Structure 1
Amino acid sequence: MLTVDYESKVQLLHGFSNKTRIQILECIKDDEKTVSQIVEAIQGNQSNISQHLACLKGCGIITGRQEGKYVYYGLRNQRVRDLLTMIDVVLVDVESDIATCENHIE
């Protein structure tokens, strides 16, 4: 049986709790991209995207690989890719409940 470290679990889930971070994860889900490619794909601000990439990297969700003057960002592994897919699957089941939920804590 796995021991649950709730603080680590919260930190991991924090990486998935922001629209921009989710957009970044979806953008690099199938292949690595540079910051410039991510900025262009999601129409974001480079400084903001860089901060979110640092968060995702710090949480261990993504990796960065230096090649020349560019850093290529990608998902850490197949399990992260599978988790993104599973989030989509669960969302289909609960989407109508989420839309009517009055108890969201921000």
Structure 2
Amino acid sequence: MSIIRDGENTDLALGAKLFRGLGDPTRLAILRTLAGGERRVVDLVGEIGTSQPNISGHLACLKDCGLVTDRPQGRAVFYALATPELFDVLRSAESLLEATGHQIALCPNFEEGVS
């Protein structure tokens, strides 16, 4: 007997896909930075401290998934969070980490590089 109703498998898979997208430290850093407002790639490189190709690749991924939008202005392109709900998810995650971060840090099931 399954406790998952029809259609829930799809919803769960979609939710898992979202959290895998948020599970990369660089993408999470980009989103957290964009929560403070629009940024160009060069701004993100300076604030996050990684290479331009790395930032650009992660931005392309986030944009393909509909989590980030871009706005050309002259020769510059500004990136922003696509929806305010994403900011709410990030804020909720930070609250959860405040409450359980020490347990998550000690959890042997989710070590870095192990999935």
The gaps in structure 1 that reach 5 residues or longer are: none
- How far 1:7 moved relative to its partner? 2.8
2:105 to 93, 99, 106: 99
Structure having the larger proportion of residues in helix? 2
Counterpart CA distance in 2 for 1:7 and 1:60 is 17
The gaps in structure 2 that reach 5 residues or longer are: 1-6
**Is the Cα contact below 8 Å between 1:15 and 1:61 reproduced in 2?**
no
Quote the sequence identity (%): 35
Tell me if 1:21 matches 2:36.
Answer: no
Give the structure with higher Rg (CA). Answer: 2
Number of aligned positions between the proteins: 104
Q: How does 1:65-84 map to 2 (within 5 A)?
A: 65-84=71-90
Q: Deviation digits for residues 35-86 of structure 1, max 9, x if unmatched?
A: 0110011111000111100111111111111111111100112111111100
Query: What amino acid does structure 1 have at the position aligned with 2:89?
Result: L
- When normalised by structure 1's length, the TM-score is 0.89
**Which has the higher relative contact order, 1 or 2, with Cα contacts under 8 A spaced 6 or more apart?**
1
Query: What amino acid does structure 2 have at the position aligned with 1:96?
Result: H
